[in-house]
Amino acid sequence: MRNTTKITAAVLATGALTLGLTACGSDKADTKAKASDPLVVAATPVPHAEVLDYIKKNLAKKEGLNLEVKEFTDYVQPNNATEDGSVDANYFQTVPYLEDFNKKNGTHLTSVATVHLEPLGLYSEKAKKLDDIKKGGTIAVPNDADNESRALRFLAANGIITLKSGSEATATPQDIEKNPKDLTFKEVEAAQTPRSLPDVDGAVINGNYAIGADLSPAKDALALESAKGNKYNNVLAVKEGNEDDPRVKKLAKLLTSPEVKKFIEDKYKGSVLPSF
């Protein structure tokens, strides 16, 4: 997070007085100062931080954007940091996850740009194809509500299980109606699903964590989520009220630029798909 300094009561008082004297007619100056400040963006390492690092090194300076990237390895801290102002924005999540997080945590986050899709995949160190997953085996799935229901819908779409009608949007293992292979589902933190592979018969892994574990979704997955009509695109998000921050607008423009599209296509070769 940003370095912080202790502010004395005297400084606070002086600041309040200054604000009172300059509040009228100072919008333009404030905007200029804000536009020149660093934009601190929380991101998970792969591919999000890699995409942001590409922008920082190759595109940001020309756009007049001072970009700082703060890496996180989970799905909770980046949203909390964006909500409390420790960072200015984040880039790691889907809109359904963001909406679920807001609902459960009372946060006020919103999407400002749709960037890419990371296809969900089923991986295994013990099976070479779907039919090889043994009866009575164990499948690891992400334990957060949005990714778990997504994982179960994905498994159902591939004929591994059947979900109870009407339960798809919020499915948990308790909503499985048919389980022909009598599989057990192990709920683990999304970031830990790749590490669970040696201990399970298969794991449903988010694309960013698969790539971070040196898996190639396009080559290594037994089954891979389709990009067509997929609502799980990854977005740039901010706290409500910050959508018009000029720095955020610059980053949104760069994240959806032809240069970034080419970078994603060249680097990830189908394992990450541009959404623009």
In tens digits, the chain (276 residues) has pLDDT values of 433 333 333 333 444 434 343 334 333 333 443 678 999 999 999 999 999 999 999 999 999 999 999 999 999 999 999 999 999 999 999 999 999 999 999 999 999 999 999 999 999 999 999 999 999 999 999 999 989 999 999 999 999 999 999 998 899 999 999 999 999 999 999 999 999 999 999 999 999 899 999 999 989 999 999 877 788 999 999 999 999 999 999 999 999 999 999 999 999 988 899 999
CA dihedral 47, 50, 55, 56 (to 10 degrees): 150
**What is the end-to-end Cα distance of the chain in Å, rounded?**
30
- Return the pLDDT at 265: 95
- Return the pLDDT at 180: 97
Both tokens of 128, joined, read 């070479």
With a CB cutoff of 8 Å and minimum separation 6, the contacts of 55 are 67, 251, 254, 255, 260
- Beta-sheet pairing, 109-117 with 233-239: antiparallel
Both tokens of 78, joined, read 């980046």
Distance, in Å, from the CA atom of 157 to the CA atom of 144, rounded to the nearest integer, reads 20
Distance, in Å, from the CA atom of 98 to the CA atom of 55, rounded to the nearest integer, reads 24
Q: What is the distance, to the nearest Å, from the Cα of residue 77 to the centroid of all Cα atoms in its chain?
A: 11
In degrees, rounded to 5, the angle at the alpha carbon of residue 200 between the alpha carbons of residues 195 and 202 is: 90
Q: What is the DSSP string of the chain?
A: --------HHHHHHHHHHHHHHSTT-HHHHHHHHHHS-EEEEE-IIIIIHHHHHHHHHTHHHHT--EEEEE-SSSSHHHHHHHHTSSSEEEEEEHHHHHHHHHHH---EEEEEEEEE---EEE-SS-SSGGGSPTT-EEEEE-SHHHHHHHHHHHHHTTS-EEPTT-GGG--GGGEEE-TT--EEEEE-GGGTGGGGGGSSEEEE-HHHHHHTT--HHHH-SEE---TT-S-EEEEEEETT-TT-HHHHHHHHHHTSHHHHHHHHHHHTTSSEE--
Q: What is the distance, to the nearest Å, from the Cα of residue 24 to the centroid of all Cα atoms in its chain?
A: 39
pTM (2 decimals)?
A: 0.74
Residue 134 DSSP one-character state:
P
CA dihedral 95, 96, 102, 105 (to 10 degrees): -130
- Return the pLDDT at 33: 36
- Return the pLDDT at 78: 98
- Return the pLDDT at 29: 36
